[in-house]
Amino acid sequence: MPRNLLALLLTALPLVVACPIVPSDPAEGEGEGEGEGEGEGEGEGEGEGEGEGEGEGEGEPDLSVLLFDESRVLHLSITLPQASVDALDVDPGSYVPGDLTVALPSGDVSVANVGVHLKGEANLRPLGQKAAFKIKTDEFVAGQELLGLKRLTLNGLLEDPSCVAERLVYAGFRAAGLPAPRASHVTVDVNGESYGLYLNVETEDKRFVGRWFADNSGNIYEELGQDWFPGNEQGFELETNEALNDRSDLTALFAAVDAAQDDALLADVSGVLDTDHFLRFSAWEGIVNQWDGYAYTQFGPNNYRLYHEPASGLFSLLPWGMDMAMKPYAGDFVDLYAPAGWLLQRCVAAPTCRAEYEAVIAEELARFEGLDLPAMADDIRAQIEEARLADTMTEHSVEDFQYAFDWVRQFCVDRPQVVRDQLP
């Protein structure tokens, strides 16, 4: 990057760090070191490649904060040649060449020949509709980055008509010191045509785990609907270190869970799993009513990743696809004593583990209240209002948005007491 452009970009850093809306960096949370349902379980293999990323950028400013500037709505322009447009019509899930420009307050930043593909499963939308995008800056140019990142995820808010729930949930996880994506709203155009308002969600890759963990060289797994039982190792997609394809860490995790005794459940798995992290992750999924995740899923384990950190030897869960949170499923809310994830089921059924989990829920519930999420929702709404009203691609009416926003905001007001009523 030219030095004069770098200098311009760095002048914008204080604006990002001082943003009052949502804490987005581990330093602002607990001092860690750092689908939407639109295809978050796609199994795309978005890994960073073999051994890539270790120690990169040490001692240099983190320019990626500019892409997750929560104080404003940035604009991204995607340019696709006709051959790429035609290819996406045939195979929307394969990367095609394109160019990307981000309009920053300090000036435009562009990268050429990036990889672009559409994302989604049942709600996949083609170009010309409210398509969601995955962008990979080094798909066609080795080592190419955009402000220190190689992956972008642009969600079209199809599953979150409130436009605020997913961003609020990730803010809560981060405030709890749990590794979770940064997220900010952006507007997008494709070949000059406005596609409207999007949520820019940090991709969970080696750059991401490098911000939260001491060692980012470990295995990242995306769930493929399987739980933590021996023999299920192939039910998780390996997204890093693919050539080695060494899943012995998963084998050890599943074996430990299987062998753990109910009266010493957490202690028995503590050699392979960060148990404090596990309880807090599960508590947050319950508190925010994430019924499409791991702990309280309605359809089988979904929307999370596992990271095995070599330095500690421990697994941690990474939240993903939180667009369905803060909303009911079939009119109901999760029962914190009726989890779906196998390890949490066993924990709730074992008196000692259940007591520890209840203590964690109470602690995280206090944190949830302390964040003042209703006020945060109001701030985000004010920030995105102009872009939301100008979004002609959205599939949600003004009435849809208003209903969903009011619901999510009131959920944040009412949820603490609802959860307390479930606790002893």
The count of structural domains within the chain is 2
Q: Where are the alpha helices (DSSP H) in 92-155?
A: none
Q: Backbone phi, then psi, for 361, in 5-degree steps?
A: -55, -45
pTM of the model: 0.88
DSSP designation for 329: B
**CA angle, residues 286, 288, 293, in degrees to nearest 5:** 60
Radius of gyration of the chain, Cα coordinates, nearest whole angstrom: 21
Query: Do 120 and 139 have their domain in common?
Result: yes
pLDDT tens readout for residues 51-82: 344 344 455 788 999 999 999 999 999 999 99
Query: For every one of its 424 residues, what pLDDT tens digit does the chain have, with 9 covering 90 and above?
Result: 433 333 333 333 333 322 333 334 443 333 333 333 444 433 344 444 433 443 444 557 889 999 999 999 999 999 999 999 999 999 999 999 999 999 999 999 999 999 999 998 878 999 999 999 999 999 999 999 999 999 999 999 999 999 999 999 999 999 999 999 999 999 999 999 999 999 999 999 999 999 999 999 999 999 999 999 999 999 999 999 999 999 999 999 999 999 999 999 999 999 999 999 999 999 999 999 999 999 999 999 999 999 999 999 999 999 999 999 999 998 889 999 999 999 999 999 999 999 999 999 999 999 999 999 999 999 999 999 999 999 999 999 999 999 999 999 999 999 999 999 999 9
Q: Where are the alpha helices (DSSP H) in 213-274?
A: 248-259, 265-269
Q: Return all residues near 46 (Cβ < 8 A) that are at least 6 apart.
A: 134, 136, 151, 203, 205, 239
Query: Do 150 and 222 have their domain in common?
Result: no
What is residue 402's predicted lDDT score, i.e. its pLDDT? Answer: 97
Query: Do 110 and 241 have their domain in common?
Result: no
What is residue 59's predicted lDDT score, i.e. its pLDDT? Answer: 58
Q: Strand 220-223: give its sheet, edge to edge.
A: 236-238, 220-223, 304-309, 314-319
User: What are the residues facing 200 on neighbouring strands?
Assistant: 154, 184
Domain span at residue 271? 214-368
Q: How many CB atoms lie within 10 A of CB 163?
A: 27
Query: Do 145 and 189 have their domain in common?
Result: yes
- Is 103 within 8 Å of 77 (Cβ atoms)? yes
Query: Do 99 and 201 have their domain in common?
Result: yes
Of 177, 207, 237, at which residue does a domain stop?
A: 207
Residue 247 CA to residue 220 CA, distance in Å, equals 10
Sign of the C-alpha dihedral, residues 103, 104, 110, 115?
negative
What is residue 123's predicted lDDT score, i.e. its pLDDT? Answer: 86
Residue 419 lies in a domain: no
- Is 175 within 8 Å of 24 (Cβ atoms)? no
Of 333, 352, 368, at which residue does a domain stop?
A: 368
Of 207, 230, 251, at which residue does a domain stop?
A: 207
